[in-house]
Chain A
Amino acid sequence: MAPSAPAAGPPQGPAFDAAAHARETARLIGLEIAPAHLPGVVANLQLAAQMAALVQGWPLDITDEPAPVFVAR
């Protein structure tokens, strides 16, 4: 469905802590991030969080399915 309301702001909830997310998620999936790479990773996660806020501001109906490409052959 198309959005029925004007652009919404970021979703409500605790602020996204990109540095903590990077450290903890990387540890949980066994991905080592060198200290020198961490600032860049955090900056990119912060940008992604801004994009996620935009995406989450689109009101979806329960029937809105994802758009992957899969064709049963």
Chain B
Amino acid sequence: MSAAATAAAIRSRQLRAAEVTEAALADIAARNPRTHAFTEVTAARARAEAAAVDATIAAGRDPGPLAGVPYAVKNLFNLEGVTTRAGAKIERGRPAAARDAFLVRRLRAAGAVCLGALNMDEYAYGFTTENAHDGDCRNPHDLTRIAGGSSGGSAAAAADGLVPLALGSDTNGSIRVPASLCGIYGLKPSYGRLSRQGSYPFVAALDHLGPFARDIADLALAYDALQGFDAEDPAQQRRDAEPVSGLLGAGPGGLRIAVADDHFARNGHAEAFAAVAVLARALGATRRVTIPEAARGRAAAFLITMAEGGQLHLPDLRDRPGDFDPGTRDRFLAGALLPAGWVVQAQRMRAAYRAAVLALFDSVDVILAPATPFVAPPLGQAMTELDGRILPIRPNLGVHTQPISCIGLPVLVVPLADPAAAGTPHNLPIGVQLIAAPWREDVLFRVAAALERAGIAGAPQPLG
């Protein structure tokens, strides 16, 4: 059941939050072992929150727009009383969080019920959610394949119907990559839109938080609930909330929509470009635009990420390198050794790259681009062919997402309702990035909702 339908049923007293919560907990107990999306189930907390919602309704008060809606968070969000593990063995010995993350507090205030924490790549440095400490997260559409990452647990849990809403983080593509590979909607808002307070940091200059959902109305409900100013995030901009739920019927009329070419028409398999073409046809988008120097933008993101990540974890790299996940350790070590000149040049170039890209939005409102270069690869597969070269999968899963997030543009990943329309291997899901100018999440939701109404966008049902 969707978040919207669940909240409506609870608000109208057709269901109680307590029974919705018990059903969700039972479902997780029965089905989570197949994907290993959850790393911690907060059953006592969920029951207490559900009871509070039911009590609020019984007292005749407003329980909030997400009354009784189950959700879960990537395990880098602070949950009061739970140790924030950030996918790392090293963090397991730390004290429990004293307070919920800001976005968790927002969802609680909206009446939502937190069911637990979700699997991820160690310290969010990866695109696969293959985790040596917590176990690999599996794609609900094919359990032999990755869910994507680093918010893989968030995408897998939502795609598999364990929760209608989940939260993740996106530094270089960690919401958009798993949303595409698991076939659900994911939103990486503008940099500075949502508070990151109470989340385990990775790259201060690039970290974003955002929601996942199986339909656009639910994604909008979550996004609307998450907005709000928080003085504790030094990067958040002070802006009034700009809700989008009321805009979903507006349609894309008047919007100038184009397809990204050059870097975004290369570096992928046929299904990634076919998926973009399906959306472009449905929207009547025939224009193509070039995001200038995207490969250099990606390179800047790569260097800034490596350097900030390596510096962040330097004390543990010195004292206990053997406790890092082998999948991340060598990259963190290398990051600690980067020449300063490379990183400063990357930051200077990033500002110039942003200026060049923003000029595009004088003549276009929404840009379509692949979200992932291919569908979900098998777990453990290291290499794949891209444009005639054999390349490592892990860094290249973000080849189309990194050039966008490193300048903070808002992106909504739309899943193809019928992956066969893009000829995906084994009918596996795939998504497309809708990209807009900073602070224009509204146009992304309008386009995504129109695509969903037309039957082009939608979350395919996992098998089994």
Chain A contact residues, CB within 8 Å of chain B: 1-3, 7, 21-22, 25-26, 29-34, 37, 40-45, 47-48, 50-52, 54-58, 60, 64-71
B303–A52 touching, CB < 8 Å: yes
Closest residue of B by beta carbon distance from A34: B321
Contact B349 A31 (CB under 8 A): no
Q: How far is the CA of A64 from the CA of B349 in the complex (A)?
A: 8
B205 interfacial by beta-carbon distance below 8 Å: yes
CB distance from B315 to the nearest CB of A (A): 10
Q: In the assembled complex, which residues on chain B have CB atoms less than 8 Å from the CB atom of A64?
A: 348-349, 351-352
B132 to chain A, nearest CB (A): 14
Contact A60 B302 (CB under 8 A): no
Whether A52 and B345, one on each chain, are in contact in the complex, defined by CB atoms closer than 8 angstroms, is: yes
Q: Are B205 and A29 in contact (CB under 8 A)?
A: no
- Asked if residues B356 and A2 are in contact (CB atoms below 8 Å), the reply is yes
Q: In the docked arrangement, what's the CA distance between A66 and B445, Å?
A: 32
Binding site for A on B (CB under 8 A): 192, 204-205, 234-235, 292-293, 295-296, 298-300, 302-303, 306, 314, 317-318, 321-322, 329-331, 333-339, 342, 344-356, 395
State whether A67 touches B347 (Cβ < 8 A).
yes
Is B329's CB under 8 angstroms from A55's CB? no
User: In the complex, what distance in Å separates the CA atom of A61 from the CA atom of B337?
Assistant: 27
Contacts A/B (CB < 8 Å), 18 sampled: A29-B336, A31-B314, A31-B318, A31-B333, A33-B333, A41-B330, A41-B334, A43-B330, A47-B302, A48-B302, A48-B334, A51-B342, A55-B342, A64-B348, A64-B352, A65-B351, A66-B348, A67-B348
When the two chains form the complex, which single residue of A37, A56, A69 contacts B204, counting CB atoms closer than 8 Å? A69
Of the candidates B205, B234, B302, B352, the one having the most CB atoms from chain A within 10 angstroms of its own CB is B352
Say yes or no: B234 contacts A71, CB within 8 Å.
yes
Given contacts A31-B337, A68-B205, 15 further A-B contacts (CB under 8 A): A2-B356, A3-B296, A29-B337, A30-B318, A32-B318, A37-B321, A40-B331, A41-B330, A47-B302, A51-B298, A55-B300, A67-B348, A67-B351, A68-B347, A69-B205
Q: Give every chain B residue within 8 A of A25 (Cβ-Cβ).
A: 337
**In the complex, what residues of B have CB within 8 A of residue A32's CB?**
318, 321
Given contacts A34-B321, A51-B299, A52-B303, contact A41 B351 (CB under 8 A): no
- Is the beta-carbon distance between A40 and B318 smaller than 8 angstroms? no
Question: Most chain-B CB neighbours within 10 Å: which of A45, A47, A55?
Answer: A55
Q: Are A57 and B331 in contact (CB under 8 A)?
A: no
Do residues B314 and A55 form an inter-chain contact, with CB atoms below 8 A? no
The CA of A33 and the CA of B303, in the complex, are separated in Å by 20
Q: CB distance B345 to A54 under 8 Å?
A: no
Complex contact A69–B235 (CB within 8 A): yes
User: Are A37 and B330 in contact (CB-based, < 8 A)?
Assistant: yes
